[in-house]
Amino acid sequence: MFGRAKVDHSKPLTHREILVVMSGLLMGMLLAALDQTIVSTALKKIVEDFNGLNHYSWVVTAYLLTSTATTPLYGKISDLYGRRPVYQFAIIVFLIGSFLAGAATSMDQLILFRAVQGIGAGGLMALTFVIVGDIVSPRERGKYQGLFGAVWGISSVAGPLLGGFFSDRQEILNVTGWRWIFYINLPFGILALIITSIVLHIPKVRREHKVDYIGAILVVSAVVAILVGLSVLGPENGWTDPRTLGAIGLGFLIVLLYIFWEKKAVEPILPLSLFKNQTFTLTAIIGAIIGAGMFGAIIMLPLYLQIIQGNTATDAGLKLIPLMLGILSMTIMSGRVITNTGKYKKFPVIGT
């Protein structure tokens, strides 16, 4: 079925061959995007099973944190070792994390395995666009990248609905319903692994890089320390407790170490010189605020609707659809207007 897609890459791929490769990439991207939102409507059932209300936000945070930290690393690692093996490594890590998260027996285990999932997801998201850049000319790239926009849109709407559907089921095939939000990744991930094994043949062109592993570790460590202080130790022990202050202080100390390290790094994970550009700095600040608001709403609204309003998880997922459709529609509309007019400054202002 897929064997014909093995082609001589000295010449450009045909549209059909590109679509076959895209099928595997799109499946990987869908899984990574879906897992950002699918747990939101299932958190209530997870918290009830594990008695972990104080740590519920970490089920989402752990995934986002590791996927964000590893995303910049995958591109450079794939330059050293090749696109396909690194991409397939990301799929395998994601599948291992998914299986272990579904089998978790405590909140701590679930958070840890969600972090493992995030490490794989970082590669799925980053390398998808890198591989598209390898096989598609710049002129043709836009029409194929539109497919990934559609995948993000589908995952934004389907994630909360699927999470609600599974968590409302007491058991499916003798397995607790909410665990299927992780197990559902397995067949699709394996299929993506098979497809990319057969069709993804990109000549390896080794490019020498210095991968900033230490920078990534420092970023994750700083954020974890600060968040532990703010979301765990503070509410449990008080804001003036030495453990709370120590965790927050340690986080900011690591931030200083990170800044010092990045100034010396040959290829920093995030070049600090970028912040000299006012447009970049303002965009980064706005993006952080919007991200905090969006993911905060995605996490908190389903809990509010289920615990306070008495809605089922499925109903909570349905009530999130207007939010997700608003984000999706304005992303598409603003992108088209910016492409046609070349004017972009007013959109961040209006959106904020």
For 260-286, what is each residue's pLDDT tens digit?
Answer: 998 888 888 878 888 888 878 888 888
Residue 169 CB neighbours (<10 A):
15
Residue 124 near residue 32 (C-beta atoms within 8 A):
yes
**Residue 10 — pLDDT band, cuts 50, 70, 90?**
very low
How does the average pLDDT of the chain come out, rounded?
A: 83
Q: Helix axis angle, 58-81 relative to 83-102, nearest 10°? A: 160
**Residue 3 — pLDDT band, cuts 50, 70, 90?**
very low
Q: Which of 91-105, 113-127, 309-323 is predicted with the least confidence, judged by mean pLDDT?
A: 309-323
The dotted CATH code for 3-212+265-351 is 1.20.1250.20
Query: Would you kindly state where each structural domain of the chain is located, as residue ranges?
Result: 3-212+265-351, 213-256
Give the residue-averaged pLDDT of 309-335.
Answer: 82
Give the residue-averaged pLDDT of 99-112.
Answer: 93
Give the residue-averaged pLDDT of 33-55.
Answer: 85
| Exposure b/e, 291-321, CB count within 10 A at least 16 = b | eeeebeebbebbbebbeeeebbbbbbbbbbe
pLDDT digits 0-9 by tens, 233-245:
887 888 889 999 9
pLDDT of residue 72: 83
**Residue 100 — pLDDT band, cuts 50, 70, 90?**
very high
pLDDT of residue 4: 39
Output the CA–CA distances (angstroms, integers) from residue 76 to 59, 119, 123, 138, 245, in the order listed: 28, 15, 11, 20, 37
pLDDT greater than 90 at residue 37: no
pLDDT digits 0-9 by tens, 60-88:
888 988 888 888 888 888 888 888 899 99
pLDDT digits 0-9 by tens, 137-160:
776 666 676 677 778 778 878 888
**Residue 101 — pLDDT band, cuts 50, 70, 90?**
very high
Calculate what percentage of the chain has a pLDDT beyond 70. Answer: 88
pLDDT of residue 245: 92
